[in-house]
Structure 1
Amino acid sequence: MRRLLVAAFVALGQPAAAQGIAIPFAPPTDRALIYRIEQHRPVEGATRMFSATRDMRFERAGEGYILQVTLRDIDSDAPAAGAEPYRAALTPLIGVVLRFRLDGQGRIVGLDNVDAAWGAAQAGIDAMLANFAPDTPRHKAAANVKALFASLSPDGRLALLAGEVQPLFLFAGSSVAGGEGRGLRTVAGSPLGRPVPVEGTLRVVGQPADALDLEEKLAGAGVQVGIHYRLSRTSGLVETQQRSLAVGSLALTESRMLTPVK
């Protein structure tokens, strides 16, 4: 459940000629959405697929919004050693409804049903521990997830549960620099096993109707990261995101897509 990048960007100095493009936050409240994440990364010498599909719906709540998220399913073609930690972390959340509270600028500020959601996740882990023998990969992975859950503070629980939807709101309620873009500094994480500082630029590379195409290029010690965003200028949401991370001979790619239910 660790993120490819720590999503904390720091401006390194915006060119004087760059003009800011205002990004709203006005998510659609009249439709159901599907959010699919698919990742391809090396496991035991081969590239393996990991995917998760979530059902989503926004509703207005005072000056902000409620985002209802339900993990529908997960999948992986990795062998047990690579797939079980992923399945153990996410299987307990399948079917659990999460009701995130967002302010008017697209910041996640709480989870309305945090006790019920957390209880359901813990019950799912306990069921996995009871149904699999202690010497099996799934039991061991579930035990590790249970220990992680037990170590988290309330803020840590919210951050964990919100982690996979947070990238939708990277630019909501802010502005994006035009012209030469702006400099960024962040930290590349998984699958490195250690944080590596990276720096680069974020710039606008296209302006199709009602959208912006953004390109982010980052580099650090032996690390290359590239990210392409399709950002809605109507809703302020990141509708598609394509990421690649290269560390020596290791390569990871990830795609995220938010689409209306047809």
Structure 2
Amino acid sequence: MKRAIAFLSLVLASPALAAPVAIGFAPPTGQDLLYRIEQHRPVDGRDSLFRADRILRFEKAGDGYILHVTLRSLDSDAPGAGADAYRAALSPLIGVEHRFRLDSHGKIVGLDNIDDVRAAMEKALNAMVARAPEGSAGQRTAKNVLTLLDGLTPEGRLALLSGEVQPLLLFVDSEVDDARPRGVRTMAGPPLGRAVAVEGNSVLAAHDGNRLTLQEDLQGEGAHVAMRYIVSAQTGLVDAQERTLTLGAQTLTEKRSLTVAGK
């Protein structure tokens, strides 16, 4: 869910504070964009890579937009079951176009072809269950995803299927203020792991034309999260994001980037 960015009043003692910066929503249309998510996290005692590439394209539709999203490729160098589970969870989506409907404020309000997406996923997952070795990580993951899909409400399925693109829209149609930090409270955790509550401050670290750099430092029970966002005040999209999540002795790092496809 998109976190609200609260307006902070000016401090009277400060003589010349900059005005709040408005972040709009005008994504580029008719252009293929490459959305890459790259994670490094420990698996069986070694740092392992997990990478997913998606092709995105925005299309104007009435007052809002259709966001076309297609998972293009997956990659991982994790040993054994770590890579198997990752591929089992996501490979059924490779080549399956999602047509998300966004309102004029950048909120995802529907998935126009949700029945087709679900049918494609279930077909691929059932095939995986049938051919994978009995009791393997891939088979267990495929069964778990099938059970999850069957048990979710329509709203829950939309949230699940849009989960990886929601961070692109985190700051759409909002304001940020470089006068003071703002408070942030959210949940953080590893993939498929237990999430914990974290909170802290977000600051506007740099403002260069339409390019905004925001940083967050969040703490929770045994958890520390450091976030850095590069946001376009014009398009409203998060063009780059870096996250470092430390849970106890383990650290997960993640980078997300949005670029023109083919460049």
Alignment of 1:117-196 (within 5 A): 117-190=117-190, 193-196=193-196
Query: Which whole-Å CA distance do the structure 2 matches of 1:166 and 1:9 have between them?
Result: 11
Q: Work out whether residues 2 and 170 of structure 2, in 8 Å CA contact, stay in contact via their aligned partners in 1.
A: no
Instruction: Report the counterpart of residue 30 of structure 2 in structure 1.
Output: 30
Query: How far does the alpha carbon of each residue in 1:126-177 deviate from its partner, in whole angstroms, 9 at most, with x for none?
Result: 1111222323322222112211111111111110110000000000011112
What secondary structure is seen at the aligned counterpart in 1 of 2:229? Answer: strand
- Per-residue deviation, 1:30: 3.4
Query: Which whole-Å CA distance do the structure 2 matches of 1:117 and 1:53 have between them?
Result: 18
Query: Which whole-Å CA distance do the structure 2 matches of 1:43 and 1:260 have between them?
Result: 32
Query: Which whole-Å CA distance do the structure 2 matches of 1:220 and 1:124 have between them?
Result: 38
- Per-residue deviation, 1:65: 0.2
How much is the aligned-residue C-alpha RMSD, in angstroms?
1.8
- Per-residue deviation, 1:208: 2.2
Q: Which amino acid aligns with 1:147?
A: T
Query: Which whole-Å CA distance do the structure 1 matches of 2:209 and 2:45 have between them?
Result: 42
Instruction: Report the counterpart of residue 40 of structure 2 in structure 1.
Output: 40
Q: Work out whether residues 5 and 175 of structure 2, in 8 Å CA contact, stay in contact via their aligned partners in 1.
A: no
- Per-residue deviation, 1:16: 4.1
Q: Work out whether residues 37 and 52 of structure 1, in 8 Å CA contact, stay in contact via their aligned partners in 2.
A: yes
- Of 194-203 and 64-73, more deviation after overlay is shown by 194-203
Change in Cα spacing, 1:191 to 1:123, as seen in structure 2 (3 Å) is closer
Instruction: Report the counterpart of residue 89 of structure 1 in structure 2.
Output: 89
Change in Cα spacing, 1:128 to 1:122, as seen in structure 2 (3 Å) is same
Identity %: 50
- Per-residue deviation, 1:32: 1.0
- Per-residue deviation, 1:89: 1.0
What secondary structure is seen at the aligned counterpart in 1 of 2:258? Answer: strand
Change in Cα spacing, 1:90 to 1:203, as seen in structure 2 (3 Å) is same
Query: Which whole-Å CA distance do the structure 1 matches of 2:255 and 2:135 have between them?
Result: 34
- Per-residue deviation, 1:178: 1.8
TM-score scaled by structure 2?
Answer: 0.92
Change in Cα spacing, 1:15 to 1:46, as seen in structure 2 (3 Å) is farther
- Per-residue deviation, 1:15: 5.8
Instruction: Report the counterpart of residue 98 of structure 1 in structure 2.
Output: 98
Query: Which whole-Å CA distance do the structure 1 matches of 2:201 and 2:9 have between them?
Result: 11
How many positions carry a matched residue from both structures?
Answer: 256
Q: Which amino acid aligns with 2:123?
A: A
Q: Work out whether residues 3 and 170 of structure 2, in 8 Å CA contact, stay in contact via their aligned partners in 1.
A: no
Runs of 4+, deviation exceeding 6 Å: 10-13
Query: Which whole-Å CA distance do the structure 2 matches of 1:192 and 1:89 have between them?
Result: 11
- Per-residue deviation, 1:62: 0.2
Q: Work out whether residues 110 and 158 of structure 1, in 8 Å CA contact, stay in contact via their aligned partners in 2.
A: yes
Where do 5+ consecutive residues of structure 1 fail to align? Answer: 1-6
- Of 232-241 and 12-21, more deviation after overlay is shown by 12-21
TM-score scaled by structure 1?
Answer: 0.92
